[in-house]
Amino acid sequence: MDVGIGLPTTVPGTDGRTLVEFARRAEELGFSTLAVIDRLVYDSYDSVVALAAAAAATERIRLATTILLAAYRPSPVVLAKQLASVDRLSGGRLIVGLAAGGREDDFAATGVEYGKRGRRLDALLEEMKQVWAGGGEVPGVGPAPTNGTIPIWIGGHSEAALRRAAKHAVGWIAPGGSVMGYPDLVKKAREAWAEHGRTDSPRMAAMAYVAPGEERKQAGGDYLRHYYSYVGPKAEFLAANVIADEDRLRETVQGYASVGCDELVIFPCTSDVDQLALIAKVALA
């Protein structure tokens, strides 16, 4: 199982130079992927811009949106161009993870109807793939992706999300949660692949939130409560269960590896670069 690391783009107050150093250090330590989560109405960096900065600061590590709330973005053509630009800047290292999203304020801020986000995402996926292939409603929008297209992951637990993944994606990603429920999600994703007539296997990914040490655990818990306040009690569950000690991190990594996860993306809940070595010592052992 590969182990990636999240950039702290949604940790309020994170300095831009810290993000760049975070990216460099993650590559040096051997993490498989640098990932970002997405939010518009929050003190956070734009996901695509942040990955462009990471692309310039690194050479080998994969770059991924896990996930991008693409449906609130008004123009699929503009988004396709932005993502293709990051892909070219990175030499073909980009993976685009997408989901419909669950934060109504993000959609209100751009004037996009929240209730139609699933259908909008389906249409957006079709249009972006056409743009990357050199077509679409406005042919000739470049640059072309390095390898002709960009790998897509889809997130979301709904039947619609699983169908979307089977139609468009190379894999599916689960949000932060429990290892215990993951095998059932793997089973559902593989069933969706088979129902769509696919003979390949979905690349299965998952997320986990980490804040090594008691001081980071407190700060990380506060961050998760604030970031996920819109989901009510689940925010407290996430905050209380943030991984703070080596044994639990080791158990989490081994647990996901044993139940069909191909890549675990660990998201630090604070922005200090020093924690990367602590995480790598356990997760990449």
Domain ranges of the chain: 2-202
pLDDT of residue 158: 87
Terminal C-alpha separation, the chain: 12
d(CA 270, CA 267): 9
pLDDT tens, position by position, 135-165:
877 789 999 999 999 999 999 888 899 999 9
pLDDT of residue 48: 98
pLDDT tens, position by position, 8-46:
999 999 999 999 999 999 999 999 999 999 999 999 999
Cβ-contact 208, 266 below 8 angstroms: yes
Return the percentage of the chain with pLDDT > 70, whole number: 100
Q: What is the mean pLDDT of residues 223-244?
A: 92
Half-sphere exposure (Cβ direction) of 119: Cα atoms closer than 13 Å: 5
pLDDT of residue 177: 72
User: What is the CATH superfamily name and number for domain 2-202?
Assistant: Luciferase-like domain (3.20.20.30)
